[in-house]
Each structure stands twice: as structure tokens, then as C-alpha cells.
Structure 1
Amino acid sequence: MVEQSAGRKVPGPAPLTRQRQEYARLIARGVSNAEACRLVGVNRRTGTRWRYGRTVPARAGGEREYPAMIEVTNTGAPRSPRYLSEAEREVIADRRRAGASMRAIARELGRNVSSVSRELGRNRDDAGRYRPSAAQRMATTRLARPRQRKVAADRSLGALVQGWLDLKWSPEQISAALAIAFPNAPARRLAAETIYQALYAKDAVLQRDPASCLRSRRRRRRPHRRADARRARAQVARPSISERPAEAEDRRSVGHWEGDLITGASNRSAIATLVERVSGYTVLVHVPGRHCADVLTPALVAAFTALPASLRRSLTWDCGTEMSDHHLLTAATGMPVFFADPHSPWQRGSNENANGLLRQYFPKGSNLALHSPDQLLRVQDELNGRPRKRHSWATPDTRLTALLLAPQ
């Protein structure tokens, strides 16, 4: 072992020039960062620093910046396989010079013919020639094009969207309302995804908290998850949904309802929800105390007897034991009660959807007993005043009124 003399500077590690060049070549070919680092024999963090650059403190004060591989990220393979790669562009150029049709090229690449057509139309040089290397540079340059969001550029549009969000409209409802409000102004329309992105953007351009505006109450976007398996419930003697009349099944006549409970913390409080199948009109029923059959049945009887006789045709309920006195409800209102099959929430799809909407007002884990009948009525009116996609963006309130006034 060779001793270093006192005061003599110990040489640092040799520069990885060759490895860095090989890493750049692999990344340009579309190899992943982890695989490129493995092939050249460096740590994955080292490759990340090479690719994106870094800033470190300097000995003399300040900072020293190591630039990113701009030449790699600007001319390398696209970040997503949905974009054409440089290798595919070389195939397009070779096949076009050989006289192949765009459809033949698309079949060979496994792409849509419109992708090949757009590529040949967009990425030609000034002389009208298609060259793969130049096309790759032009396409990659267009990838990073930061633009101002529509809701930020148009303040009145942003204020309109904010107002509807405060009314707890969903982005899809807002998108449809804008299309109706501005039929001849495409610049003032917004896709639902655009509104979602503006809500979750770091710049907070809409100045609204997604957790308070959206019924999912999520602060971060995430994919849908599979629902957990539901526990089996006690069986009660009840008419099956298979016995429900056909007019209720195909939504031909008004007056057929779906119902269930939404429960609060530890299942100690509840609100009964009723949804008319044709119009989607929702009725909220205050359930004082325990949500057992002795309490729920009188509350439902009072809610249904307040409705016109033409709106009392049938009720489809979940398979819970809280409706064990369904025969008393039928005797008081003349409405037969049918029960969905266990573990089959889709058989009461309208009611399940309404319960999801109501969680925006009554979050899971909260005490639902704190809400008075007047508060439930206010939420009910607000929910029935929202436009619905299945009614061509008419509201359940106006839809139900039109059905009642229509000749029978």
C-alpha cells in the first residue's frame, strides 16, 4: 500500500467519461434508466443525476450546477410508448421512399393510419422532405409546451367554474353546463378532465380545495379501487326483486323507488335515502335515534304519505334487517316492498349513486344525528337542482315535474 505524503492531495476517482457516453447512447435508444445503469455498471442514482443534472454546494461558497443531458432528453425516445419512437420514424421514412402506402406502414408498425398520416404532415422540413432524425427533434420539442390554463387566462370563466364548484357540482356537470351556456364560443368550454387538473394543480389556479369541492373528498388523485367484500347479513322473509313488476325494471312509469340507509360513525346514526328510478329525484328521511325497524318504518310511512298517490307504486330496498316491518309500510301506503339480492348493489344503482353524492354533505365517520330535518331538506333541494347527464343535463326536479304533468 502506498502511503500518501503529508499535505499531499489525494486524487479523486477517475471520471466516468466512457460510462457516461455509453449511458447517453442507451437512453437515446429508449432503454430505461435502471437498465442503462446496470449495463454501464453504475449506481441508479448516478444515472439519474447524469440524466436530469444536479446542483451541489461549492467549496468557495454558492452552488455548482451540473447540467442535465439536454441532448439526450430532447432527441431521445419519447417518454410514453403512445408516441412514435425514432426507430419507428426511420421505418416510416424507409417505407415511404420505397413507395409503400400509409396503411401498409401503419399495419407494419401496429399503429393507426392516422398516426402515420399526421407524422408525415407535421414533421417535414422546409423542403417538404421527411427525415427521421429531424422529425424526432421537431416532435420532442413540441412535447414541452407549457401553456396557461384556460381558467387562469379567462377570469370570468374561472369565476363561473368556482361558483359551480361551491354549489358542489361535479366537473362533468360543469363541463356540460359550459357547453350549453356558450354554444358558439368553444374557447369558453372546458373538458371535465381540464377542471380536475386545474383543481389538483400545484399552482391552485381555481383557489379551491379538492377535498371540499369534490364528493370523493380526496386531496390527491388516485385510481379506482375494488370494493371490499361485504359481510353476509341476517335474512328476513321478504319479496325478492325478481318479483318486481316489469314497468319498474325498465323505468317506464314514474313512482318506483329505491332506498337504503347511509350510516354515521360506528353505525350509531343514519339517514334514509329514497330515489325515484325514472327522474332520479331524491328524498332524505330523518331517522331519529336507532335505525331499527321500529323507528325507520314510521319515518318512511310519513315520507311516502306526503307524496301524491301516483308516486307510490313500489319500493326496492337493500337486504338489511331494518326493513323487517315492510308489511306495515305496505299496509299504510299501498306500496309493495321488494328486496335486492345480497351483495348486489347494482340492482339499486340509482340509490347507490345518490348515496355516493350525499357523502359530499355527510362524510363517513361523522355523526349524522346532528343534522335536523330542515338541514336534510336543504341538501335534498340542492341535490335535486343539479343537472344530470342521463337527462341531457336537466335536473331531477324539473324531470319529475314534467313526468307528473304528462298525460297518463
Structure 2
Amino acid sequence: MTDPRPLHVLIAGGGLSGLAVAQGLVKNGHTVEVFERDRDLNRKQGYYLHMNAFGGEALRSVLSDDLFALYQATSRTTYGRQESIVLHDHFGELSSQPHLGPPNTGETPHTGVHRRTLRQILSARLGDALRAGAAVTGYSEDRDGVSVTLADGGTARGDVLVGADGIRSAVRAQRLPEVPIIATGVRGIGVYGRVPLTPELREIVPATLMDGVVIAVDRAGSRMLVGVFDPRQPVHEAAKAIAPDVTLDPVGPYLMVSCSVAPGTEVPPSAEWTGETPGMLRDSMRRAVAGWHPAAAEIVGRMELDSIFMIPFGFIVPAATWAPSRVTLVGDAAHAMLPTIGMGANLALRDAEHLVEQLTRAGRGESGLIAAIGAYEQDMRDVAYPFHAMTLDHDKNFGGGALARASDA
């Protein structure tokens, strides 16, 4: 037992896991400083996020009641089927399997969210504790606390440092320098865009594409991923009704789409894109699905050009174990994985929930601080690492395996 006292926690990174840690700690009476390298939330990181009970119940734990209700209200409508579905190129079903994660039941099951909306909810009410445009570049640790150095030369000091700064984490690079980053692709997936879900498009899109996050594949190796975002309540109206002090950007229903480009098309690095690149890629994607169900070319052809961007995928080979200290890691900083089973954000939020629980125990004097961090880290490894291993078998879990089984039948 130790003397109870509030903790002051430094958090490197203002993504989902870092903000969730901040919300949960503030909810439990602690203070935080969140250092986010971006100056705003406008960097394109994706659109639709599939949520399961790992992530959704973590949000229930770390958020205030009204912010959690706002998350539920702005989530997509309840799935007709809680399954991952693989279709062939004419949108007939090849295979399905239940969504991964714990049971997801109740009146309002977890479905999916618009990433930017969730980040705005997680940023709510943090005020000056969220410091945008301030990247953590390094730290020093002693028996009494942790000091961080910022890119602008500033410093800050706290009881604990949480590295929530993504796959290229500066905190992990110092804490676990032996951990490698592996840059790789996921065949057929990587260029993303949005398609407004208009009444006309609802008439065109087959019902099989509206069930959740669906992937369609053909025998030439082309793939198309479709995720439907159709919120339970209009996003900005929900905020006014549930949490009037929270501002959410309006976002209407849409399809998130990622599609293969036609053979021979080179997708340039994001830094080399010109004004013509999105249109070139959209045209190439249409060619890739030209022989598919007619709705495929219709969907791709309606992708908003200013929404198209590329995600450079990668993963880390997570460290097997390490001795705990005042510096710990959550989310992609701890176990960055490929998106092939839709678990990255959910496990990141679960990390946040369990770290908050352990730090709160330490703050109440129920556990030593280092022991509490060690307990969190062991639980994180036990739960997240097996899912990380699953993501490395892309084809089995992301479409190709279903097509191979169909060929063998």
C-alpha cells in the first residue's frame, strides 16, 4: 500500500488511445497533459472504424455518461448481421464469420463510427490539457517522475509517461529501441475514399453491401472493401441534444471504399501526389472492377476526389516482454498491426481502459505505481498479441482465403 494521491500523467499522442487515457484519468480525478504533433484533426487517417465490445466497452469505462451516449448516438445503425462477410465480384456471398471480440449484445450494440467524430468526442472538455502542435521527441526518467522534451524545445514533467504516439512512436524508440517497424502492403487495399450515401445510391447498392464492413474479391486478385456509415442520429444534431457544449463536424451517411487499382497502375507516395492523382486512381479503380456487378463501378465512380488518399500500411514486431517503469505504451505504439481483422482501434481503446484502471488503483494507494503499470502491460500482451499474430495471415482473414476455399469446393 502507498499513500493515495492524484497522478499527473503525460501522454505522447492525441489519437484515440491517448485521448481515451486522458478522458479516463480525468474522470477518476487525475490530471493529464496530452501532446499531439498535429496542429488540428484534419490529417486523413481513415473514415469508418468498425467497433466491437473491446473498444465500445472501453469507451463506456473512460467517458462521462453523456459523452458515451453521444458515441452511441453517432455510431452507425445496428448491423443486420454481426459478421465479417466476403463476397465474390458479382456480390454473392462466399463466406462469413462472426465478428471477433467479446459478446456484443444489448439494446445498442457497438457497430462503427466516423473516426473524426470519435476523436472529437474523445477530445471534448480536455481544454488546455490537450496541446496541439507539440510533439514529444524524448524523455528522461528518474525515481520520482518522468520529464519529456518537445520538438519546440519545451519540457514537461509528470509521474508517468504514456506513449500513444503511433507506429513510429518516439517514446517506443527510446523505451524499446530493438522493436522493428515493418512497412508492407495489404494486397488490393490501401487507397481509400468516400462515397455519399444518397437515396439514389441506396437504390443501386445491393443489400449484401449494407450489412457491415464487407470485402469483395475476384479471381484476378482485385478487391474492394466497403464500409457503410449511416448514423443512428445525425451527428451534429446528436451533439446538440446530448452534450450541447461539444461541437461535432456534420457528417452525412457514406460508403467508405478501398479498391484495387488496375494492373500496371503505379500509386505514387502521398508526398508526390498532384491535383490529377485522385482522378487517375479513381479511373484505374473503375477499370479494375469493370467486369464486376454493375454497382461496383457505380460506387467507385462516385468517390469524392478530395476524399481519396493512401494509407501506407505497416506493423511492428512487438517485444516479448520488458521490465515495467514509469514509461509505458498503448495502442499502435505497443502493438501496431495490419487492419485485416478490424481490431487495431478496439485493442488500442481496451489498452487505454486497462491502463486507466491500473493507474487509478495506484493513485488510490492500492498498488505500487510500477507494479500497476507492469500489471497493465502483462494484460495488454496477453490479449493484444494473439490478435496481432492473426493479422499477419492477410489472405486467410481478408478475403483471399475465402476465394481459395470456394475454388477448392
Please classify the TM superposition score into its range, dividing by the shorter chain length. under 0.3
State the TM-score, normalized to the length of structure 1. Answer: 0.23
Highest RCO, 1 vs 2 (Cα 8 Å, sep ≥ 6): 2
- Answer 1 or 2: which has greater strand percent: 2
